[in-house]
């Protein structure tokens, strides 16, 4: 089934049922289906064709969800982009996938307009919300498009096949250049079905997601809910955990997907009492392992909830989950492969290793990506032929071990990618931005442990002695060019950075020294 | 008294957050969240600042956007709380 049919089917079955709650907006399945049909027609009449890429550069909200389904109904490929992306990177991403169109919101119009100056492939720009910016004067208004009945086809018909690409999700890589993960409709259907199965999501569930829809963990909350006709409550920020908890009570939320940073913020609260949320039947964790002490405290606070520790990556959406009954026995495990898929540890030669031996985790199944957009080299490194024809094995780049019963444990990244606030950050991407600041002669970026963020980003910089910089200046510069989660939290200045024998700055060495100095 | 509280709050925000978001012309009523000036760790820092600088003790229920999402909201929250403390 193509992804837009999750919405169509649920709209046929339960048109009045609340599909989405976002801010003060409450939308039924019928409403969403109708609005996305109209927007899809608007895309088609304005030349968006099957397979075209459409960037969705928006915060979490009902407009973003309508847009995503409209793009799919038009047979096109949506490209969700983190809303804190700055103009240069946005222009790069639009150019890289030769996007035909972009949808954004009034708040981001300035950034989008600046990016469009360098993105000639984009023929159609849309905006939602109150916007009076001259650069967007001839942009199509979302509100107009969803009310317009003229373009709407007499019956809703799907354009395209299940084997078509549904989405392109850009993910950070070690080279500093983001890679576009290609997922077909079949990939998405497979992944959503697999995760819904172990979470046992049903129509009477209400899932609250404060995770950005620009990455798969957040995006799939919508897909999984729509597949079964459940309700999703979308929030934009976890800055105020109390506000989230209030919402959970109001909406009688049954499912809460978290990343460790959110769990840490909940556990920082002072007045939370066990048993305040009897409706909450599950909590999930992904992006980084949840410390066992945090798992235990969460369980105390939410005794009715089952806690799922999970692991995955954009390239396969999810790979493993730990059945909650196993938490008491092995709280630091991320579990087993989802049924119908494989996830196992291999050595450098690609051979399976025995229990206790650290190696790279590989994954295979219908959820594994098709490859990286127009990047055969990176694709060739990540995807290698498996035992059966057409069945690729994904090399995750994560080091794992298994125990005697086959349960898996995350050990470390093979490369220097930093996981902070649940997001991937490429040190090289941050370093490239630092080098663009006049006065910076040498720079190295790595993660340091942080109780809330998991890892915080630290930059060590050597400046031109004639033009010394302050931390504020360095951070401000980074904030202008990088997404918010990539901006260094700590800046340290040194007169020179240690180098290896061949004159290269060795990031790992400096990071280890820094950690050693801390402990 | 209001002006004094407001300027102390503004100074704290400007010194600790504005360089992050590059939001140099933040008005008293602009949303700190929406302008990107404040994120989850930012909220914790503001709470810590208010508690130490103004000797208030914030309950979980008070750590909400209505009280903290703009310079003027923070000022209004402080005035209410400090007035209650004086009255008690």
pLDDT tens for A379-396 read: 999 999 877 777 789 999
Record: contact A239-B60, CB cut-off 8 A:
no
- Chain A residues whose CB is inside 8 A of the B36 CB are 84, 484
- Best residue in B25, B39, B40 to probe A by mutation, most A CBs within 10 Å? B40
State percent of chain A over pLDDT 70: 98
Answer yes or no: are the C-beta atoms of A32 and A7 closer than 8 Å. Answer: yes
**Contact B40/A at CB under 8 A:** yes
CATH of B2-87 given 3.40.50.300, 1.10.390.10, 1.10.1200.10, 2.40.10.10: 1.10.1200.10
Q: Report, as an integer, the average pLDDT of A352-373.
A: 96
Q: Is the pLDDT of residue A290 over 80?
A: yes
Q: How confident is the model at residue B23, as a pLDDT?
A: 57
Q: Which of A147-156, A364-373, B49-58 has the lowest mean pLDDT?
A: A147-156
Using one digit for the tens of pLDDT, what is the confidence trace for A460-474? 999 988 888 999 999
Q: Report, as an integer, the average pLDDT of A340-364.
A: 95
In angstroms, the separation between the Cα of residue A103 and the nearest Cα of chain B is 19
Using one digit for the tens of pLDDT, what is the confidence trace for B38-63? 888 889 999 999 999 999 999 999 99
Q: Which residue is closest to A470 within chain B, CA to CA?
A: B19
- Chain B residues whose CB is inside 8 A of the A487 CB are 20
What are the backbone angles phi and psi of residue A65, rounded to the nearest 5°?
Answer: -65, -45
What tokens appear for A204 in the block? 């009477």
What does pLDDT average to over chain A? 93
Using one digit for the tens of pLDDT, what is the confidence trace for A431-450? 999 999 999 999 999 999 99
Its CATH architecture, for the domain A189-369+394-399+407-413, is 3-Layer(aba) Sandwich (3.40)
Topology, domain A31-160: Rossmann fold (3.40.50)
pTM: 0.93
Collapsing DSSP states into helix, strand and coil, what is residue A219? helix
Q: Where are the domains of chain A?
A: 31-160, 189-369+394-399+407-413, 418-518
**Contact A239/B at CB under 8 A:** yes
ipTM attached to this prediction:
0.90
Q: How confident is the model at residue B20, as a pLDDT?
A: 65
List, in sequence order, every beta strand (DSSP E) within A386-487. Answer: 392-402, 408-413, 418-420, 423-425, 440-450, 454-463
Q: Is the pLDDT of residue A307 over 80?
A: yes
Residue B62 gets which letter from DSSP?
G
**Contact B47/A at CB under 8 A:** no
Q: Report, as an integer, the average pLDDT of A335-354.
A: 95
**Contact B63/A at CB under 8 A:** yes
- Chain A residues whose CB is inside 8 A of the B65 CB are 240, 243
- Chain B residues whose CB is inside 8 A of the A472 CB are 19
| Residue pointed to by tokens 């409550």 | A233
Q: How many CB atoms lie within 10 A of CB B53?
A: 13
Q: Which residue is closest to A453 within chain B, CA to CA?
A: B41
- Under-50 pLDDT residues of chain B: none
- Best residue in B41, B69, B73 to probe A by mutation, most A CBs within 10 Å? B41
Q: Report, as an integer, the average pLDDT of A336-349.
A: 96
In angstroms, the separation between the Cα of residue A278 and the nearest Cα of chain B is 19
In angstroms, the separation between the Cα of residue B32 and the nearest Cα of chain A is 11
What are the backbone angles phi and psi of residue A483, rounded to the nearest 5°?
Answer: -60, 155
Q: Is the pLDDT of residue A120 over 90?
A: yes
Q: Which of A238, A242, A262 is the closest to B64 by Cβ?
A: A242
Same fold, A189-369+394-399+407-413 and A418-518: no
Answer yes or no: are the C-beta atoms of A24 and A243 closer than 8 Å. Answer: no
Strand order in the sheet with A440-450: A440-450, A454-463, A490-494
What are the backbone angles phi and psi of residue A368, rounded to the nearest 5°?
Answer: -75, 140
Say which CATH superfamily domain A418-518 falls into.
ANL, C-terminal domain (3.30.300.30)
Q: How confident is the model at residue A353, as a pLDDT?
A: 96
**Contact B24/A at CB under 8 A:** no
**Contact B82/A at CB under 8 A:** no
Q: Give the C-alpha distances (Å, rounded to integers) separating A308 from A251, A284, A318.
A: 22, 5, 12
């Amino acid at each position: 089934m193509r992804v837009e049919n999750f919405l169509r089917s649920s709209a046929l079955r339960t048109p009045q049922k609340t599909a989405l709650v976002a801010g003060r907006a409450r939308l039924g399945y019928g409403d969403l289906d109708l609005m996305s049909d109209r927007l899809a027609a608007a895309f088609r009449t304005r030349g968006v064709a099957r397979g075209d890429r459409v960037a969705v550069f928006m915060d979490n909200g009902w407009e973003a969800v309508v847009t995503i389904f409209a793009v799919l109904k038009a047979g096109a490929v949506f490209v969700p982009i983190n809303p804190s992306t700055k103009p240069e990177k946005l222009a790069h991403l639009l150019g890289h996938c030769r996007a035909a169109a972009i949808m954004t919101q009034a708040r981001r119009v300035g950034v989008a307009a600046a990016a469009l100056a360098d993105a000639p492939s984009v023929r159609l720009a849309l905006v939602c919300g109150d916007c009076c910016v001259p650069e967007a004067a001839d942009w199509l208004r979302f509100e107009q498009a969803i009310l317009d009945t003229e373009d709407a086809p007499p019956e809703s018909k799907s354009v395209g096949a299940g084997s078509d690409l549904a989405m392109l999700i850009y993910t950070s890589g070690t080279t500093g250049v983001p890679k576009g993960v290609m997922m077909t409709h079949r990939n998405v259907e497979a992944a959503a079905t697999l995760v819904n199965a172990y979470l046992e999501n049903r129509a009477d569930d209400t899932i609250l997601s404060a995770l950005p829809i620009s990455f798969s963990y957040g995006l799939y909350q919508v897909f999984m809910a729509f597949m079964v006709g459940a309700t999703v409550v979308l929030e934009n920020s976890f800055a105020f955990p109390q506000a989230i908890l209030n919402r959970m009570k109001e909406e009688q939320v049954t499912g809460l997907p978290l990343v460790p940073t959110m769990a840490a913020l909940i556990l920082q609260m002072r007045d939370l009492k066990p048993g305040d949320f009897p409706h909450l039947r599950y909590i999930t964790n992904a992006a980084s392992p949840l410390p066992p002490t945090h798992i235990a405290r969460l369980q105390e606070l939410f005794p009715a909830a089952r806690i799922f520790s999970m692991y995955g990556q954009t390239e396969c959406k999810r790979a493993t989950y730990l059945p909650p009954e196993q938490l008491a026995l092995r709280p630091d495990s991320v579990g087993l492969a989802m049924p119908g898929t494989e996830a196992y540890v291999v050595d450098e030669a690609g051979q399976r290793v025995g229990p206790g031996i650290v190696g790279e985790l590989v994954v295979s199944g219908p959820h594994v990506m098709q490859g990286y957009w127009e990047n055969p080299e990176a694709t060739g490194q990540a995807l290698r032929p498996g035992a059966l024809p057409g069945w690729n094995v994904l090399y995750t780049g994560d080091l794992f071990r298994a125990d005697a019963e086959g349960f898996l444990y995350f050990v470390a990244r093979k490369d220097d990618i930093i996981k902070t606030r649940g997001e991937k950050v490429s040190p090289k991407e941050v370093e490239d931005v630092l080098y663009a600041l006049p006065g910076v002669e040498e720079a190295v970026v790595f993660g340091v442990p942080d109780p809330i963020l998991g890892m915080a980003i630290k930059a060590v910089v050597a400046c031109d002695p004639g033009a010394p910089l302050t931390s504020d200046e360095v951070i401000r510069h980074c904030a202008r060019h990088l997404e918010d989660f990539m901006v260094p939290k700590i800046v340290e200045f040194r007169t020179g950075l240690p180098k290896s024998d061949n004159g290269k700055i060795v990031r790992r060495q400096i990071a280890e020294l820094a950690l050693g100095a801390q402990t | 008294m209001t002006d004094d509280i407001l300027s102390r709050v503004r100074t704290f925000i400007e010194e600790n957050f504005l360089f992050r978001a590059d939001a140099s012309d933040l008005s008293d009523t602009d949303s700190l969240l929406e302008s990107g000036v404040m994120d989850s760790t930012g909220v914790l820092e503001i709470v810590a600042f208010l508690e130490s600088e103004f000797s208030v003790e914030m309950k979980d229920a008070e750590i909400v956007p209505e009280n903290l999402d703009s310079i003027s909201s923070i000022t209004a929250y402080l005035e209410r709380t400090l007035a209650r403390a004086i009255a008690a």
